[in-house]
Amino acid sequence: LLAAQTSRTFRAATSLSGSPDQKGFIVGREDIVPFAVTNAREITMRSPGAFATSFKCPTRLFFGSEEPYFSAESLKTAERARKAGLDVQAHTVPGDHFSAVPEALQQSIAFFRSN
């Protein structure tokens, strides 16, 4: 997601269970996070949702139906981008963080072929 926000090199981009908000995502995982969790700027810079109006190409955010965290943040990010006139959508696919991958990949491929 961050790459799709910083470069016009891509014709399209997708994410599979991407985390648009690192602040919320790292709660309870601070011991495994490979950056300074006490640095608010560091967290923001790694959070695509904070830059939702910066997408440079059509983007789809896929997440599993059993992933409420990714669902809420992906929908929020896509809505902010759409309000800015950008072609960004969030889509639910059946499953959890692992079982949703095959369907998300198929939809990603179809999306890439259409762009």
Task: For residue range 14-46, list pLDDT tens digits in order.
Answer: 999 999 999 888 888 888 888 888 899 999 999
Q: What would the pLDDT profile of 52-103 be if each residue is shown by its tens digit?
A: 999 999 999 999 999 998 999 999 999 999 999 999 999 999 999 999 999 9
Q: Containing H/E element for 93?
A: strand 88-93
Overall residue count recorded for the chain in this entry: 115
Q: Enumerate the β-bridge partners of residue 16.
A: 62
The two structure tokens encoding residue 44: 């923001």
Model pLDDT, residue 72: 93
- How confident is the model over 5-16, as a mean pLDDT? 97
Model pLDDT, residue 3: 97
Model pLDDT, residue 69: 87
Domains of the chain: which residue ranges?
A: 2-18+52-113
**Residue for token digits 């990603």?**
108
The more confident residue out of 12 and 38 is 12
Model pLDDT, residue 25: 86
Contacts of residue 95, Cβ cutoff 8 Å, sequence gap at least 6: 64, 65, 66, 101, 103
Instruction: Return d(Cα 56, Cα 42) in angstroms, integer.
Output: 22
CATH topology of domain 2-18+52-113: Rossmann fold (3.40.50)
Q: Phi/psi of residue 82, each to 5°?
A: -60, -40
Q: Where are the beta strands (DSSP E) in 7-87?
A: 13-16, 59-64
Q: Phi/psi of residue 9, each to 5°?
A: -65, -30
Nearest Cα to Cα of residue 112 among 21, 10, 19, 25: 10
Model pLDDT, residue 24: 86
Model pLDDT, residue 28: 85
